[in-house]
Every structure is written in structure tokens, then in C-alpha cells.
Amino acid sequence: MNKIDFGVGIGGENGQGIASTGNILALIFARRGLHLNAYNAYQSIIRGGHTFLTIRAGNEPALNMGDKLDVFIPLNQDAMDRHLRLLKSGACAIFDQEKVTPGEPAEGVQLCPMPMKEVTKGNKLAVNTAALGATLQLLGIESEPLETVISRQFKKKGDAIIAENVAIARAGYDYAAQNFKAFPWKAPMGPKPLGIITGNQAIAMGGAAAGVKFYAAYPMSPSTGVLMWMAAHARQLGIMVRQVEDEIGVMNMVIGAAHTGCRAMCATSGGGFALMTEAVGMSGMIETPIVCVDVQRAGPATGVPTKTEQGDLWQALGAGQGDYPRIVVVPTNQLDLFRTMPELFNLCDKYQCPGLVLSDLLISEGTASIDPDDLNFDVTIDRGELILPNGNGLNPASGYNDKTYLRYKNTESGISPRAVPGVPGHIFTAATDEHDEDGTLISDEFTNPHKRRMMVEKRARKMEGTIKEITPPELFGPKEAAVTLVGWGSTDGVIREAVEKLAGEEGIVANQLQIKWIVPLHAAEILRILKAGKHVLIIENNQSGQFARYLRSETGFEAHGHIRKYDGEPFMPHHIVEAVKQQLTRNTTLSVPVHEVIA
């Protein structure tokens, strides 16, 4: 089958129902078996402003939002003015002819004005629905799936609303059939129906699969979707969900719950994570494992709450005072977020340390198609050396003053068997002060440099075990390449596509090294790969090159050049392709692509 891949853009102001319109369209494509990737560029405003949602779909995996639009639906004049100039030959623009005046489009762009008042019979709220009908017609998709999805989406609003919207969708469909020219290609069908998932849903579902029993949060964009999923499913899944007074309280509460044996987690964004960091250190010090997700947004401070960035790497690396082992992982897409959560919980339980996940607005709020068979909830659960009263093989001693149990026993692996409150015979006090093997403080009266060193080293040794359980990164693409693109986390998809475009359209052989596990880092393996690279470029969504600096600090490796974007919007494939071409001519070692879409 030929690769067919198309983009639909919907622009307007917040409050015009753009997100739900996009959701309907995404569901239709996914049910058709198409892969898709959707990204909503919006502003921190409930009504008004400018929102632009892009859905890219096709019969091959859609790794990012892509470069081009085939269907453009401007719901207001502002959207038309901003985006029409970016349409290329073959694309079309569907709009309300009474409300929106088109500018001068490029040659070959089809303007599709619709008399919306007539098509919707005066229902101003249903303009989107009529435009969706027209879109499907142009894409060669029948109107039935739209009617099914509308019925599902408007279920709560009652039969009358459903019937009205279905009729309007059909009217839009018919109007397009009579008045516009359909695309010369048809939206293909995939082999089996797919679903759609956001990264925040994937984080929550991955946590649920891992067996999370306690979830706490303070609402903060763009992480709030995790809280909403957890709250909606709490009773069904037996998860206690609390909204807490602030993120300091969140992390401390999560640690308290985890201390009793629960798997406990929280999600926030950079500002909330900043408040949590002292307590992250407590998790490290008392060796009570927790998992925390920082869904990065553009910072610092309040920053740009609805825009994406990879700006919290050093915050995660340096969270909390002092030295202590932690795991930092940066999943690369929605499915990876789902799969990483149970894996990370196992590592944290086993090594009794905090686990930090860096997601970002791009993949957390972005929607991707998902094969239902990939969502495996039957995951391996390894709780390490946990002592629960109902037993996991270790026998609790009898008596109330059991001194044979050492909660912080100095072992070769650094891992000490962990009893939880409620277990007879294992009484101890978990202290954030430095403590001896039995938990006694060695911070005041019994301060002892030898013991202090022993305990620091005991905790640190746990990382030696952790790294052996983490998969080293692998090179994607040909071994021999003119350029090696290095990324971390959510840029995986867009870099991968850039690698393919460079080979296909530019004749430049490129390969890619995407880093997911940040701490511990497979430094030796990474260095071996990068040393063999002819021209290594590091690509990241921040200004200062946070990952480049980290890589240099851990490996001594200095890249040949950098591609950085810090305008709040994600990379598009052509940004990387053009920057690579620029850098290969050796004119620069730093490219900062310009985001054309929102001028």
C-alpha cells in the first residue's frame, strides 16, 4: 500500500469547541485504523485567544504533527489570516462564507466557502460539525462514522441534540459533495481499528497497571489530565485520590502513603515540582520509593503555561539538597509513557529510591493513535525486599522490641529489607536526619563520620544495581552516517522523521541516538556510539542546551553542533532538516528554527 499521510488543522478561539471537534475527527480516523498524532497549540485563556489544533493521520505510524496541512478549518478571521498563507498546492480551506473572508491563497489551494447559517439552520454552535461533515467528504470518508462518533460524544446531551448534530453533519457532507472537489486520493483504511490516547492518560493508566493505590496532586497545567483520569477511575480501580493544598503537601502525602506499602505517585509541572523537591530528598533519605511525573512546560516561574519545553532536566537532576540516588527517565511518546510507569515502579521498589519521570506538554496533552493490544495491563510486578504483614517470604520476628531487624542494614547491594508500619517485630523510626542501620539518628549526639560515610555509600551503591537493569540506548538508522542526531524524550518521533526525510529528500545519510534513561546514564555506551559519529548534533526543546551540558558532564563528549527551539512550540520535521543542512555547510554550530505557524 502506498503511504498516504494527511493533515487537518482547525483554528479559532478558545471556547469554540476546537478540542472536542479534534477529538471527534481523531476518533473517526483511529476507528478507520489510521495512525495519528494530534497537537493542540493553545493559550492560557478559557475564552478567546487563538487555538490551533493539528491532526496528522495516515496508514503508517504518525510520529509527530508533521509539516503540512491538507484540510484547514478556520473558525474565525484571525485563524484564516494566520494560516492561509502556509497552505500549499493541493490543500483546501473550509470556512463560513458569512463570517470569514479568505485572503489570497497560494496557487492550487482550493477555497471551500460554506453558507453555514443555511447548512446549520442557524445553529451557531454546530458550525464545527458542518465543517467536519465537509472534511470527511473531501477525504473520501463516508458520513456514517461521523454520525456514530457524534452520537457517542453527545450522549449526555440527549437524543434531540444528537439528531440535530447528525443532520447538520450530513448537510455539511452533502454541501461539500455538490460544491467542492474531493482530494484525488482517499483516506485509507488500516487493518484494524485503533484507539486514541493522550500522554496524561497513558501516565495514569501506566500507574494503574503498576498497581498505584494512592494518587495525590495539585492541579497544574499541563499535568492535570493525570489527576482527572485518576479521579474518574478511582473507585472502580480502588485508588485513593486526593487533591492537596499545595505540591509540598502532595509529595509529603505520597511519601506517607508509600511508607505504608502502597505504590503511590503524583504528577505536576515544573513549578509544582520545585515545591516538592525537598521531600523528594526525603524519599531518598528514608528510602521510601515514590514516583513523580513532571510534565514540563515553558518556564521559568509561571512561564508559558500552555506551551511545551524540555526545560526541567537540571531541576530533576538537582531536585533536593545533598547526594542521594534517584532514577530519572524521559519517555519518548504516549505508549512509552504507559510502558515506562510499571517498569519504573519496579525499579523504585527494588532500589527504594524516588523515580522521576519527565514528560512534557507535547506528549502529555498530545493525542496519538494506539493499538489496543499494545496496552498490556498484565505487567510484571516486582516489589523487591518489601516486608508486609501478609508476607512475601520473609518471616516477621515475634515480640515488640525486636532488635534483630535493621531497617537500614548495610548490605553489599545497598538494599535493606523494608518493613512497613503495622508489621509486628520490625519497629523502626524512619528519619530524614542521617541515621544508623537501626534508624537511630547519627546527626546529633551520636554523630560519627565513619557511620555517616557508610550510610552515604550504602545508599549510593544502589545505583550500581539499577544501571544493570536499564536498557542502553541504541542507534536508529544506518551505522555509517554523515550526521548523527541526538535527542532525549519527546523529540524521538520528529527526529526519526527528520532522519527519513534527510535520506529521502536531501540525500543526507543520518542516524539517531535517542536517550530515555537519564539517571543512571549508560555513559560508556553512549560515548562509544557518539565517538564514532562523523557529525553529531544535539537537538532539544530549550535554550541553554540542558542535555548537551549533562552529556558533557557525564561523558566529556562535546557535540559538533546544536539545534534548539525555545519558543514554546515543538519541532516540526522540516525545522530539523533545514537546520541539519545549515550545519553541514559548517556555517554555524547553533541553529534555532523559527516557528512559522503562529506569527
Partner 1 sequence: MSATTEPTTTTPTAPPPARVTAPPAEPGQLTKETYRGRIHPDWCPGCGDFSVLAALQTALFELGLKPHQVCVISGIGCSSNLPGYVNTYGMHTLHGRALAVATGVKCGNHDLKVICTGGDGDGYGIGGNHFVHTMRRNVDLTYIVMDNQIYGLTTGQCSPTSVKGMKTKSTPYGSVENPINPIPMAMVGGATYVARAFSGKQKHMVEMIKGAIQHKGFSLVDVFSPCVTYNKDNTYQWFNPRIKILEEQGHDPTDFHKAMDRGYQWGEEIPIGLFWHRTDLPSLEDLEPVLHTGEGPLGFRKLGIASADAEQLVAELL
- Contact set for partner 1, span 251-290 (CB under 8 A): 252-264, 278-279, 282, 286
Q: What is the DSSP letter of 188?
A: -
- Which listed residue (178, 236, 471, 587) binds partner 1 by CB under 8 A? 236
Options 44-52, 139-147, 244-252, 546-554: segment touching partner 1 (CB under 8 A):
244-252
- For position 189 contacting partner 1 by CB under 8 A, the verdict is no
Rule CB under 8 A: say whether 585 interacts with partner 1.
no
Answer positive or negative: Cα dihedral of 50, 56, 61, 67: negative
**DSSP 8-state assignment for residue 181:** P
CA 564 – CA 502 distance, rounded (Å): 18
User: How far is Cα 14 from Cα 240, in angstroms, rounded to an integer?
Assistant: 33
- The sign one gets for the Cα dihedral 283, 285, 288, 291 is positive
Q: By CB under 8 A, tell whether 377 contacts partner 1.
A: yes
Q: Tell me which stretch binds partner 1 (CB under 8 A): 2-10, 125-133, 171-179, 237-245.
A: 237-245
Integer Cα distance of 242 and 223 in angstroms: 15
The residues in 27-86 that bind partner 1, with binding defined as CB under 8 A, are 30-31
Based on the number of CB atoms within 10 Å of its own CB, is 36 exposed (0-12), middle (13-18) or buried (19 or more)? buried
Judged by CB under 8 A, which of 25, 73, 119, 370 binds partner 1? 370
Q: How far is the CB of 43 from partner 1 (least distance, A)?
A: 27
Distance of closest approach, residue 198 Cβ to partner 1, in angstroms: 10
- Work out how close the CB of 30 gets to partner 1 at its nearest, in angstroms, rounded to a whole number: 8
Q: How far is the CB of 253 from partner 1 (least distance, A)?
A: 4
Q: Among residues 201, 277, 340, 511, which is the contact residue for partner 1, using CB under 8 A?
A: 201
Smallest gap from Cβ 238 to partner 1, in A, equals 5
Cβ closest to partner 1, residue 396 vs residue 465: 396
* Cis preceding linkage at 222, omega within 30: yes
* 9-17, 188-196, 514-522, 552-560 -> range binding partner 1 (CB under 8 A): 188-196
Least distance (Å) between residue 31 CB and partner 1 = 7
The 3-class SS string of 353-413 reads: CCEEEEEEHHHHHCEEEECHHHCCCCCCCCCCCEECCCCCCCCCCCCCCCCCCCCCCCCCC
**Under rule CB under 8 A, residue 197 binds partner 1:** yes
Q: Which is nearer to partner 1, 373 or 412 (CB)?
A: 373
Q: Which stretch binds partner 1 (CB under 8 A): 156-164, 384-392, 548-556, 566-574?
A: 384-392
Could you give phi then psi for residue 14, rounded to 5 degrees? -60, 140
- With CB under 8 A as the rule, give the number of residues binding partner 1: 84
CB of 352 to partner 1, least distance (A): 15
What cell numbers appear for 407 in the block?
A: 531497617
| Residue pair 94/112 in contact by the 8 Å Cβ criterion | yes
User: Which is nearer to partner 1, 8 or 258 (by Cβ)?
Assistant: 258
The residue among 109 and 370 lying less far from partner 1, judged by its C-beta, is 370
Sole binder of partner 1 in the list 126, 127, 141, 239 (CB under 8 A): 239
Torsion of CA 502, 503, 506, 507, to 10 degrees: 140
Backbone φ/ψ region at 248: left (φ over 0), alpha (ψ -120 to 50), beta:
alpha
> Which of these, 499, 515, 546, lies nearest to 296 by C-alpha position?
546
What's the min distance (Å) between Cβ of 378 and partner 1?
Answer: 7
- State which of residues 80, 208, 337, 510 lies at the interface with partner 1 (CB under 8 A): 208
Rounded CA separation 301/14 (Å)? 24
Minimum CB distance to partner 1 smaller for 264 or for 539: 264
Which residue among 83, 213, 522, 562 contacts partner 1 (CB under 8 A)? Answer: 213
CB of 494 to partner 1, least distance (A): 23
Of 102 and 417, which CB lies nearer to partner 1 in the complex structure?
Answer: 417
Q: DSSP state, 244?
A: -
On whether the CB atoms of residues 305 and 272 are closer than 8 A, the answer is no
- Of 48-56, 74-82, 238-246, 355-363, which segment contacts partner 1 by CB under 8 A? 238-246
Q: Alpha helix locations (H) across 86-187?
A: 116-119, 127-138, 144-153, 159-179
Q: Please report, as residue ranges, which positions from 440 to 499 form the binding site for partner 1 (by CB under 8 A).
A: 440-441, 444-446
341 in Cβ contact with 206 (< 8 Å) = yes
- In the complex, the smallest distance separating the C-beta of residue 542 from partner 1, rounded to whole angstroms, is 30
Q: Assess 237 for contact with partner 1 (CB under 8 A).
A: yes
d(CA 191, CA 309): 35
Site for partner 1 in 393-432 (CB under 8 A): 398-401, 403, 420-432
261 or 311: CB nearest partner 1: 261
C-alpha closest to that of 347 among 325, 333, 318, 327: 327
